[in-house]
Structure 1
Amino acid sequence: MLKKFTFVALMGALVSASFGAGVANAATDRNGSCESGEFCLYYNSDNAGSVSDFAGSIADYGDSQPSCYEFKSAGNGQGVCVKNNAASVWNRSTKAVTVFYNSNYGGAKQTFAAGAKGNLKAELKNENASHRFGDAGGDPDPSPGVYPAPETNPHPAATARAPQATKRTQFIDDQIASKTGEKQCWVGDYRSYESSTSNHNTGNALDCTISNAIGTYPTATQKAQGWKLAYWLQKYASKLDIRYVIWQGKIWSVARASEGWRNYTAGSGVTGGHYDHVHVSVQNPHGD
């Protein structure tokens, strides 16, 4: 987890920034103003304090003046090196941008979709060394490994009534069980508080319990297990006819695949944020 700054790393950062400058045609890179097309880091949380604006990827922010990338605008933190001092971001570019704990795009990471703004998570707040444009990496940090490829889903879009699954959904459930070993996936009971055409109510969604029980956070091992399943579902979404996947407060969807894993804001808490189960929505006649 060490963040060593070297002359080679700085030159790589400068080259990276040079090649990435074309990302922000309407912006003036490094003028301390967060303009359209740029990715901006803020000294304080909630997009407050001095800002440092970028039009391309930076492999290493640098450790000290005069060689580091610093916060440019007036405000708290002006002149301070960005490395290990940023608390929030605003991605005004047209691509997903990922912030990394280590130089050269390594370690813990957090992805911000095009147009997104927000605070850096605990692992990255004041612990950040690089960022990369066009990187929709999302979570998790370690590689989760892979499962065998599933069969192609042969069933057409259809509807049922929970707790019954459609044939398309049942096929996904069977493939999850046979290819990944996860066997705690359910459509669940009919939900009167949801629309009659919701994914679950029409038999077009599965919840796969990963933690010891619904309402409890997973262990580190279970979290990695959930990501392994979530990435498998993402990778084979077209073969399985999957619409979107939610896990650990993140959502990935076919419709916005280029943005990678985005922050999921429609629910909160252990279950609402999908920290205890992986949600799988299936392509169906009613959409979302």
Structure 2
Amino acid sequence: MGALVSASFGAGVANAATDRNGTCESGEFCLYYNSDEAGSVSDFAESVADYGDDQPGCYEFKGEGNGKGLCVKNNAASVWNRTSKSVTVFYNSNYGGAKQTFAAGAKGNLKAELKNENASHRIGDAGGDPDPSPGAPYPAPATNNEPSQAVRAPQASKRTAFVRGQISSLTGERQCYVGDYRPGEPSTSNHNTGNALDCTISDAIGRYPTPAQKAQGWKLAYWLQKYAVKLDVRYVIWQGKIWSVARASEGWRNYSGSGVTGGHYDHVHVSIQNPYGD
């Protein structure tokens, strides 16, 4: 079952809702199995980072009608936001990927990218994070069973080499490098120990990407986020945003780097779990 992130409501609104009883009540965010708020409903008073994949641990549709008892993940078609805040539905778990935001009180069908492709929602999210369409998703990678190790750049650790191979074969991105040893960084840094990759997305380092390249970079970044556990990814940086396993519930946060390269506007950075964790 996915982790829950508490949402704050006024006392009257919170008391009006009976969370998870299969009825869409005031103060709740509700997902429906069918379009136009039809079929079985699943009602929530809190944000959910991952609906879960299988019974008995997943969040399911609880109301009467089509879909009752099925897992909500990748099965919802419409929503009714009866909370007092905006709510955003996400394509990926941990609030990532394509998304759609519903204002307080709004009803509506999920857009094509999200219909039956929903994995999380966040109450109080006004849709300010990146929202490019990921298009058709990349295939799931194999599980990274390589050992944790530290080598010296530009050599890649076995874990990192595995990730680079999966990126190349499954996403088509082949410009991913550990890079040379960086004397200005600690000897235990991810790059210096062969535990990080920079994947060039724009025409060249130092150039901002075109709109198509920007979307291409997000598609890779969201794929790395979605399969972080399988790949042993620690964090991902792209377009002035960072997502990390340790703070997954916070979604994509602002990154402090500046400039085209420092802000990671020209390349996707991915760090791999390693002995130092720098």
TM range (shorter): 0.5 to 0.7
The one-letter amino acid paired with 2:223 is: W
Cα 1:152/1:162, change in 2 over 3 Å: same
Cα drift, residue 135 of structure 1:
7.9
Matched with 1:208 is 199
Cα 1:252/1:137, change in 2 over 3 Å: farther
Partners of 1:165 and 1:204 within 8 A in 2: yes
Taking the aligned partners of 2:193 and 2:180, their CA distance within structure 1 comes to 11
TM-score norm. by structure 1 comes to: 0.56
Cα drift, residue 100 of structure 1:
8.0
Partners of 2:182 and 2:192 within 8 A in 1: yes
Larger Rg belongs to: 1
User: What SS is found at the alignment partner of 1:18?
Assistant: coil
Partners of 2:101 and 2:126 within 8 A in 1: no
Matched with 2:164 is 173
| Deviations 1:161-205, CA, capped at 9 Å, x for gaps | 000000110000011000000000000000000000000000000
| Deviations 1:45-73, CA, capped at 9 Å, x for gaps | xxxxxxxxxx94247xxxxxxxxxxxxxx
Q: Which moved more, 1:221-230 or 1:138-147?
A: 138-147
Taking the aligned partners of 2:141 and 2:101, their CA distance within structure 1 comes to 34
Taking the aligned partners of 2:169 and 2:128, their CA distance within structure 1 comes to 27
1:283 aligns to 2:263 (yes or no): no
Picking from 243, 254, 259, the partner of 1:252 is 243
Picking from 260, 269, 273, the partner of 2:263 is 273
Taking the aligned partners of 2:275 and 2:176, their CA distance within structure 1 comes to 22
Partners of 2:141 and 2:231 within 8 A in 1: yes
Identity across the alignment (%): 63
> Matches of residues 122-161 of structure 1 in structure 2 within 5 Å?
132-133=123-124, 138-161=129-152
Partners of 1:144 and 1:227 within 8 A in 2: no
Q: How many residue pairs are counted as aligned between the two chains?
A: 182
Partners of 2:189 and 2:276 within 8 A in 1: yes
Unaligned runs of 5+ in 1: 1-14, 24-54, 60-94, 108-130
Taking the aligned partners of 2:125 and 2:247, their CA distance within structure 1 comes to 14
| Deviations 1:217-255, CA, capped at 9 Å, x for gaps | 000000010011001101111111000000001111000
Cα 1:16/1:190, change in 2 over 3 Å: farther
The one-letter amino acid paired with 1:285 is: P
